[in-house]
Amino acid sequence: MKKIKKFLSGRATIVALAILIQLCWLLSFLYGFQARFTFFNTVIDLVAIFVVLLIVNKRSNLSYKLAWSVVILAVPIVGLLVYFIFGRSELTRPTRKRMEAINFEMEQELPEHPEIQNELMGKDMSVYCQSRYVMDWAGFPVYKNTETKYYPCGEKMFPDMLAALEEAEHFIFMEYFIVEEGYMFGKILEILKRKAEQGVDVRFIYDDFGCVTTLPAKYYQKMQEWGIHCVRFNPLYPVMSVIMNNRDHRKILVADGKVGFTGGINLADEYVNKVKRFGYWKDTGIRLEGEAVWSFTIMFLEMWDYITKSQEADLEKFRPACHKTRKFQTDGYVQPYTDSPLDHENVGENIYMNIINRARNYVYIFTPYLIPDDEILKALQNAAKSGVDVRILMPGIPDKQIIYWISQSYYEPLLECGVRIYQFNPGFLHAKCFVCDDEVAVVGSVNLDYRSLYLHFECGVWMYRSRAVMQVKADVLDTMERSEEINMEFCRKRPAAIRTLQSVLRLFAPLL
C-alpha cells in the first residue's frame, strides 16, 4: 500500500497525469471541432499530408521518418498533435543559436595538435581518418599525454571516483543523467559538502527527467544550500513541451582538470551493486589522467554556460599547470568527444560506424539496447559477411521489457549474416563499449538505440593503442564466459504472439 501511495503521489505520476489531461483536452476539442465542421476533416488530411512531406524531406533517420509518417497518416488528429508536442528530433531555433554561440567560444580553447595527427597518419591512415572525423565534426582533438584506466564494473570504479574527489583542491565538475539518494550518492555528497566548505568550486548538473523518480522536485536547491552550485538540465514541468525529447544522458566527473571519468555508470546504488534490481548490474567506465581531461572540462563548461545563461570570463583557471610540464606514461592516443541534437551530425553513431566499417579482424560490442537503424544494421551484417568476427553482448535480464523484445527482434537478421550474439545471464548489462582489432576502443554513454544516437546529449572516449583498449577486450572475453550464446533456434522458439508484437514494435521503435 505504501508503494502504491508513493507511486501515485510521485512527481513522475503527477507530471504524466497532467500532460495526459492536457492531451486529452486538446484531442476532445479537436474532435469536437471536427464533428461540428465537416470541412475540418479535409483540412486535417491536407495538413497531415503536408507535415508528412516535411518530415520525409528532413535530414533525419529514415526509420524515424517512416514511424511518424505512419502514425500521422493513420490517425491524423492524434498523430499531428503528438508529433508537434513530442516529435521534434532537434532543438528549437533559439536554443540552437544559443548553444552554437557557446560552442564556438569554447572550441577556440581546444588545440588541434597537428603533430599528433601526423603521427597517426604515419601509423595507420584508416585510424587517422577516424580521429580526423572526430576533430572536424565534433570539434574535439586527439591527445597523447594521457593515461587511461578501464573499469569492468561500477564497484571497481567507485573507490577511484571518491579518491579523485578527496584530492580535489580547486574545482569539481559532475554531470549525470540519473542521481539517486542512497549509499553511492551519499558517499559522494559527503565529500562534495566538505569540499564546498573548504572553498573548492563544486558544480553539479543532473538531468531532471532522468531523476524524476529518484530525486525530489527541487533537490538542486538543497544542494545549493550546502554550498554546491547545482542546476537541472531541461527541467520537467507538468506542461506539454516540444523539447521533452532532448535529455542530458552524459556521465562526467572532472577533478581539478587533472582526472576525468566517464562511461555508463550513473550515481545510484544499482551501479555499484549495493542493491539488486535486475540481477547483477554490469556497467563500465574509464578514467583519464592527463591532457585529454581538458576536453571533458570544456564539455562540462559548455553545458553549464548553456543552462545558467552565463559565460566563463577566464577558462585558464581550469587548466592544470602541471600538464605543461608533467609527462605521463606513454599510453597511446586518446580522444574524448561529445554528441548532441544541436546539429544534424550524428557523431556517436558515425564513430561506431567508422569502427565497424574499418574493422579487419573483429569488433566486440557491449550494449544494453540493440535498436540499430538501417545503416548500423547493414554495417554489422556486411562486416560479418566479410569475415570480420562481430560479437554483440546484451543483457540477460532486461530493465525495460518492451525495449528488450524490440532488441531481440534484431537477433535473427544479424545471426543469419554470421554475427554472434550473447546474453549476460547474471543480470543486466548497461555498458556501452566497442573494441576492434586490438587497436581501437570506445567507452562512453552512447547506447545502440534511437534516443542515444539522435536525441540525447552523449559523450565518450575514442582510443587507439591505449592500455584501456586491451582491458576492454579482456573484459568482453571474460563476460562472454558468463553469458549464453544465442542461436537461431532461440529466435524461432519465440511464441507467435511475441513475434507479431515485435514486428509492430519495431516499426515504432524510433518513437520510444
Reported as a single tens digit per residue, the pLDDT across 210-229 is 998 899 888 999 999 999 99
Residue 249 annotated as catalytic? yes
pLDDT at 339: 93
Q: What is the mean pLDDT of residues 254-279?
A: 96
Cell of 281: 548490474
Among the ranges given (90-94, 335-339, 394-398, 445-449), the one the predictor scored with the smallest mean pLDDT: 90-94
* Cα gap 386→51, rounded to integer Å: 41
The 10s digit of each residue's pLDDT in 474-483 is: 999 999 999 9
pLDDT at 5 over 70: no
Average pLDDT over residues 227-235: 93
pLDDT for position 324: 58
Question: Among this protein's residues, is 45 annotated catalytic?
Answer: no
Strand 229-233 relative to strand 201-207, pairing = parallel
Q: Which residues contact 112 (CB under 8 A, 6 or more apart)?
A: 135, 141
For the chain, domains (ranges, CATH) are 2-86 (no CATH), 93-123+140-333 (3.30.870.10), 347-511 (3.30.870.10)
Cell numbers at residue 456, please?
Answer: 540525447
Dihedral of alpha carbons 274, 481, 360, 146, sign:
positive
From 144, 430, 456, 473, the catalytic residue: 430
Q: What is the mean pLDDT of the chain?
A: 88
Average pLDDT, integer, range 37-47: 75
Of 207, 437, 449, 475, which one is the catalytic site residue? Answer: 437
Residue 445 CA to residue 451 CA, distance in Å, equals 12
Where is average pLDDT lowest: 131-140, 300-309, 374-383, 490-499?
490-499
Contacts of 101 (CB under 8 A, 6+ apart): none
Respond yes or no: is residue 437 known to be catalytic: yes
CA 234, CA 303: separation in Å to the nearest integer? Answer: 11
- Which residue stretches of 37-153 are H helix? 39-56, 62-74, 76-86, 93-107, 114-123, 125-133
**What is the pLDDT at residue 373?**
87
Res. 391: pLDDT tops 90: yes
Is residue 309 among the annotated active site residues? no
From 144, 195, 249, 323, active-site residue: 249
Arithmetic mean of pLDDT, 239-267: 87
Greater pLDDT, 425 or 489? 425
Q: What is the pLDDT of residue 19?
A: 65
Q: Quick check: 179 and 215 in contact, CB under 8 A?
A: yes
Q: Give the closest residue to 150 by CA, choosing from 341, 366, 400, 306.
A: 366
| pLDDT, tens only, 339-362 | 988 777 899 999 999 999 999 999
pLDDT computed for residue 156 by the predictor: 97
**Helix, strand, or coil here: 158?**
helix
Out of 149, 251, 323, 456, the active site residue is 251
Task: Return the minimum-mean-pLDDT range out of 104-113, 141-150, 459-468.
Answer: 104-113
pLDDT at position 89 over 60:
no
Q: Give me the pLDDT at residue 238, please.
A: 60
Q: Is 177 exposed, middle or buried (0-12, 13-18, 19+ CB in 10 A)?
A: buried
Note the pLDDT of residue 240: 57
Mean pLDDT across 119-132? 93
**pLDDT classification of 99: cutoffs 50, 70, 90:** confident
**Is the C-alpha dihedral spanning 474, 478, 479, 480 positive or negative?**
positive
What's the confidence (pLDDT) of residue 87? 67
Residue 304: per-residue pLDDT: 95
Determine the residue type at 36. R
Sign of CA dihedral 72, 77, 83, 84: positive
Three-state secondary structure call for residue 190 = helix
Of 253, 276, 277, 254, nearest in space to 265 by CA: 253
pLDDT of residue 3: 54
Q: Beta partners for 366?
A: 393, 433
Rounded Cα distance, 464 and 142, in Å: 10
pLDDT computed for residue 236 by the predictor = 74
Choice among 44-48, 388-392, 434-438 with the minimum mean pLDDT: 44-48
Q: Are 286 and 261 in contact (CB under 8 A)?
A: yes
Kindly report the number of other CB atoms within 10 A of residue 23's CB atom.
16
Smallest CA-to-CA distance from 392 within 369, 361, 416, 425 is with 369
Cα–chain-centroid distance for residue 441? 17
Measure the CA–CA gap between 480 and 366, rounded to whole angstroms: 11
344 closest CA partner among 75, 29, 72, 100:
100
Q: Among 162-166, 199-203, 501-505, whose mean pLDDT is lowest? A: 501-505
Residue 52 pLDDT: 84
Residue 6 has pLDDT above 60, yes or no: no
> Is 251 marked active-site?
yes
pLDDT band at residue 7 using 50, 70 and 90 as cut-offs? low
Distance in angstroms (rounded) separating the CA atoms of residues 217 and 228:
17
pLDDT of residue 427: 96
- Read off the pTM: 0.89
In the residue annotation, 432 being an active-site residue is answered as yes
Quick one: pLDDT at residue 48? 82
| Distances from the Cα of 272 to the Cα of 102, 182, 365, 398, angstroms | 35, 11, 22, 18
| pLDDT over 70 (residue 288) | yes
